[in-house]
Structure 1
Amino acid sequence: MFWNELFWIGRALVLLQLIPGILGWGKQGHFAVCKIAEGYLTEDALAAVKLLLPDAGGDLASVCSWADEVKFHLRWSGPLHYVDTPDFRCKYDYCRDCHDTHGHENMCVTGAIYNYTMQLLSAYNDSNSQMKYNLTEALMFLSHFIGDVHQPLHVGFLGDLGGNTIVIRWYRRKTNLHHVWDNMIIESALKTFYGSDLAIMIQAIQRNITDSWFNEISSWKSCTSDRTVCPDPYASESVHLACKFAYRNATTGSTLGDDYFLSRLPVVEKRLAQAGVRLAALLNRIFVSQTLIAQE
């Protein structure tokens, strides 16, 4: 599907698709990313989010998993959740890697981030933009894909489909490596350290942002050459982390337990933090002191 062929699903369908389903980072992970982002939004960005999400009451976190919930209906969107890289090179290159299995260029997570940023920016510059694009969808897709590009195995190897074909055991449970990073590290952390309360986990990550990672925040927010959006460095970080942490000691048939969990959890929590801070910075740049053209 070409970018300029995106049409309205309609408000009723949007509401229908908010029903929980099969998710990406994991519903908890995407919720955490958007909840962290909400705390860093400017007044202009908050106003724009509320305008574009009337059915959700302006609550970005509540719709952060929407893109996963509709990908089985909007099948063209499936390749937009990830980008595959050549096996064992541990490098990402947009021109080489950003395409779907049919070779269609720009059909990957980084391409999607560029596209939906452009759609939202067009609302300031083109009075007909609301006829071309569904700006509510653009915001929900963009928020979700910023989360996805920070999950290391969403920029994993082509040969194992980002860890999906690496069958392992997470303690006693049979699963695959990709699912471990999407869901199971977070689920185990919630049970082990946070009393199964996602709000407490988010608060702990927020404290680390203001304390442990405070000196890094400015570099997280910035884009090279003052660009509005810069997902390529995020993808490069992810594949590097995939090689260093996700794939290491995780081969088909292996059992992953405390050693793997406790050493990888800090990586997951920091990626959630980076995704949240960067999503907020991006939305703040998009919605800076301008009047958004409202959708009918």
Structure 2
Amino acid sequence: MTKLVQGVLIASFTSVCLFTSTLAAAWGQTGHRVTGAIAEHYLSAEAKAAITALLPNESLAEASTWADEMRSNPDEFWQKTASPWHYVTVPGDKNYPQAGAPKQGDAYTALNNFKTILQSPDSSRAEKQRALRFIVHIIGDLHQPLHAGDGTDRGGNDVKVRFFWEDSNLHRVWDSQLIQQRELSYSEWTQWLSAKISADERKQWHDTNPQTWIAESVALRKGVYPEDANNMNYDYLYQHMPTVKKRLQQAGVRIADYLNEIYQQ
């Protein structure tokens, strides 16, 4: 094999890996941890006990990023089977029920499956651990607007932008760069965002139907595309940071509500 061919193959493989990991990592490490940590504030006593028994010495913040971290595992399950479980595709002229899931499944079908696994007395401990970690992760994913893509641009990955004068793409901006721009730790984000969730918002956001979350992301999706893709900086940050904060808060509240519902007695 020539060095040129080797170089082409390596470049192609790298591109595929970068696309896959980028598309799967809604909110990035920090954002996912924030949603998991917020959720812990709203867990019922029953849910806390069940989660502690299943994942001792592991917080929901830690559990929230596991599904992305495991994507480096070369096993076929992680490289192929689980890849579609981080997003849904909803064309612009349809809602999710009309669009439906592809034959390989998506975040919605995976979430329902993992809920069944947690509720089944026949599931093994390892199966339930995986299900719990995926549930925390997927709920976070579905609150990132570009993880409910329209199927035309790989959830914004194909939309090249310049964010604060550096080359990027729209999906990466929403996954992590908007959050990173504030230079806060996940614990600082959690403390600040949790303190601002009012009792009324807590009630308003109580909804354990994933189709509701998907519809919200689809409604937000069109508005995240910039007017000037080569000049995304302070104005874009100012315009969209309130949405980022709200979606992180909502995801955290709904992770808790979803798990509370699973473990209610």
TM-score (normalised: structure 1): 0.76
d(CA) in 2 for partners of 1:250 and 1:288?
A: 48
Alignment match of 1:51 (pick from 45, 53, 61): 53
Contact 1:35 1:61 in 2 (8 A): yes
Alignment match of 1:216 (pick from 201, 213, 224): 201
Give, in angstroms, the shift of residue 156 of structure 1.
1.6
d(CA) in 2 for partners of 1:261 and 1:24?
A: 18
Contact 1:177 1:250 in 2 (8 A): no
Contact 2:205 2:254 in 1 (8 A): yes
Alignment match of 2:188 (pick from 158, 179, 200): 200
Deviations 1:240-293 (A, max 9, x none): 11112x124254xx220111111101101100000000110111111113xxxx
Note if 1:149 corresponds to 2:142.
Answer: yes
The one-letter amino acid of 1:60's match is L
Note if 1:113 corresponds to 2:111.
Answer: yes
Q: Corresponding residue for 1:92?
A: 95
Q: Corresponding residue for 1:10?
A: none
d(CA) in 2 for partners of 1:92 and 1:148?
A: 18
Q: Corresponding residue for 2:5?
A: none
Give, in angstroms, the shift of residue 215 of structure 1.
1.5
Q: Corresponding residue for 2:9?
A: none
Q: Corresponding residue for 1:284?
A: 260
Alignment match of 2:221 (pick from 242, 263, 278): 242
Deviations 1:196-244 (A, max 9, x none): 333222111112213xxx323213113xxxxxx4101100100111112
Alignment match of 1:233 (pick from 212, 224, 229): 212
Alignment match of 1:136 (pick from 117, 125, 129): 129
d(CA) in 1 for partners of 2:26 and 2:166?
A: 19
Runs of 5+ consecutive residues of structure 2 not aligned to the other structure: 1-20
d(CA) in 2 for partners of 1:96 and 1:153?
A: 16
SS in 1 for 2:196: helix
Q: Corresponding residue for 1:15?
A: none
Contact 2:31 2:186 in 1 (8 A): no
SS in 2 for 1:255: coil
d(CA) in 1 for partners of 2:252 and 2:201?
A: 14
d(CA) in 2 for partners of 1:69 and 1:266?
A: 28
Give, in angstroms, the shift of residue 122 of structure 1.
1.5
Q: Corresponding residue for 1:83?
A: 88
d(CA) in 1 for partners of 2:98 and 2:236?
A: 33
Alignment match of 1:159 (pick from 152, 158, 161): 152
Q: Corresponding residue for 1:17?
A: none
Q: Corresponding residue for 1:7?
A: none
Contact 1:49 1:58 in 2 (8 A): no
Identity %: 35
Q: Corresponding residue for 1:16?
A: none
- Structure 1 runs, 4 residues or longer, greater than 6 Å off: none
Q: 1:52 to 1:110 in 2, by over 3 A?
A: same
Q: Corresponding residue for 1:40?
A: 42
SS in 2 for 1:174: strand
d(CA) in 2 for partners of 1:70 and 1:199?
A: 23
Contact 1:24 1:68 in 2 (8 A): no
Contact 1:24 1:65 in 2 (8 A): no
TM-score (normalised: structure 2): 0.84
The one-letter amino acid of 2:62's match is S
* Equivalence map 1:51-70=2 (5 Å): 51-54=53-56, 57-70=57-70
Give the alignment's Cα RMSD to 1 decimal.
1.9
Q: Corresponding residue for 2:162?
A: 169
The one-letter amino acid of 1:84's match is T
Contact 1:83 1:156 in 2 (8 A): yes
